[in-house]
């Protein structure tokens, strides 16, 4: 099981890697934390947090990172999908896109195209 601090860090690393510039340099994590928290040092301090980030903070990052508008070409990394799922954040149906190049997301996705970690979740919610 991955703890939430590690999950957030992995997601942030994926975002930074996805935002590599033409010279091959990754975006700094401070850029992400400045956009989400208005605090460029958030990731510098994350490891030293005794209790970890608050639920509100995790939700802010999850909402930002699950939004295709915040990823190159709208391709949200699987780490961001996993973070949002674990934190309980979803996009409003009006914000879910049909994806790019035939990729499907949201209500139009078949069960085989839903992220594996979320595939059983929808069925459980419908049964409840």
pLDDT one-digit tens code per residue, 112-127:
344 444 444 444 444 4
CA distance 4 to 15: 16
How do the domains of the chain map onto residue ranges?
Answer: 4-90
* Mean pLDDT of the region 94-104: 51
What DSSP character marks residue 47? T
**What tens digit of pLDDT does each residue of 51-90 get?**
889 999 999 999 999 999 999 999 999 999 999 999 999 8
Q: Would you say residue 21 has pLDDT above 50? A: yes
């Amino acid at each position: 099981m991955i703890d939430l601090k590690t999950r957030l860090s992995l997601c942030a690393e994926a975002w930074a890697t996805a935002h590599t510039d033409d010279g091959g340099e990754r975006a700094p994590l401070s850029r992400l934390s400045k956009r989400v928290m208005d605090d460029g040092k958030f990731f510098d301090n994350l490891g030293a947090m005794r209790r970890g980030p608050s639920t509100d903070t995790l939700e802010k990052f999850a909402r930002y990172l699950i939004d295709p508008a915040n990823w190159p070409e709208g391709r949200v990394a699987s780490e961001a999908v996993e973070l949002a799922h674990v934190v309980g954040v979803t996009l409003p149906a009006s914000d879910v896109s049909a994806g790019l190049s035939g990729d499907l997301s949201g209500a139009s996705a078949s069960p085989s195209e839903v992220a594996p970690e979320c595939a059983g979740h929808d069925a459980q919610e419908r049964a409840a």
